[in-house]
């Protein structure tokens, strides 16, 4: 699969999560932070909407896994558990249910902010990858299997070596034949 398609798929996975979470919040209401301002707002189903909220929460759970993979280790919430000084990275997709706990770790705004930032980055990367794939360099990379990323990371040496050998040997034979034929040797 091409790099641009991979980024587009990741984009779609995060967008599906954002859409499902938005739909879930439509049947919920926020109860503000406690009167000391210590905890974040808790989201609870509106009266009479409990069954629909449960169904929509299941839909969010269904798309959260793919969204978590799409967000990877790049897009996360720096969460500081209460009573500690250390922060830890938390995926907004896997930890979305914290908004319905009695003591939410973070707010819905933070979840949407991280997801929207990820969507912007993934869109930009997909566009850049599409432009690269359409260029001559991208077409050569597709044939040789050597990309800018594998060159930077030092991966993918075997496939380009095999390709170079397969293309290099016939080219060397043609040069040797021409040199012999024209008496250059």
Report how far Cα 148 is from the mean position of its chain's Cα atoms: 19
| DSSP label at residue 135 | S
Residues 43-90 have pLDDT tens digits of 999 999 999 999 999 999 999 999 999 999 999 999 988 888 999 999
pLDDT band (50, 70, 90) for residue 152:
very low
Whether the model clears a pTM of 0.75, i.e. scores above it, the answer is no
What beta strand segments (E) does the chain contain? 28-31, 42-45, 77-79, 88-90
Show Cβ contacts of residue 61 under 8 Å, excluding neighbours closer than 6 positions: 97
Residues 63-73 have pLDDT tens digits of 999 999 999 99
Structure tokens at 62: 């269904």
Residues 7-33 have pLDDT tens digits of 999 999 999 999 999 999 999 999 876
Whole-number Cα distances in Å, 151 to 74, 157, 164: 21, 8, 15
């Amino acid at each position: 699969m091409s790099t641009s398609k991979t980024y587009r798929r990741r984009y779609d996975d995060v967008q599906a999560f954002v859409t499902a979470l938005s739909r879930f919040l439509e049947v919920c209401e926020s109860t503000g932070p406690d009167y000391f301002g210590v905890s974040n707002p808790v989201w609870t189903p509106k009266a009479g909407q409990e069954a629909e909220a449960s169904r929509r929460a299941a839909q969010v759970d269904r798309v959260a896994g793919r969204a978590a993979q799409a967000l990877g280790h790049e897009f996360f919430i720096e969460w500081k558990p209460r009573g500690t000084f250390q922060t830890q990275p938390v995926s907004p997709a896997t930890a979305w249910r914290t908004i319905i706990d009695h003591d939410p770790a973070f707010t819905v705004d933070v979840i949407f902010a991280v997801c929207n930032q990820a969507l912007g980055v993934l869109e930009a990367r997909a566009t850049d990858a599409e432009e690269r794939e359409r260029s001559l360099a991208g077409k050569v990379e597709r044939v040789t299997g050597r990309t800018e990323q594998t060159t930077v990371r030092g991966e993918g040496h075997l496939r380009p070596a095999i390709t170079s050998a397969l293309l290099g040997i016939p080219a060397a034979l043609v040069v040797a034949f021409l040199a012999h034929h024209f008496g250059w040797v």
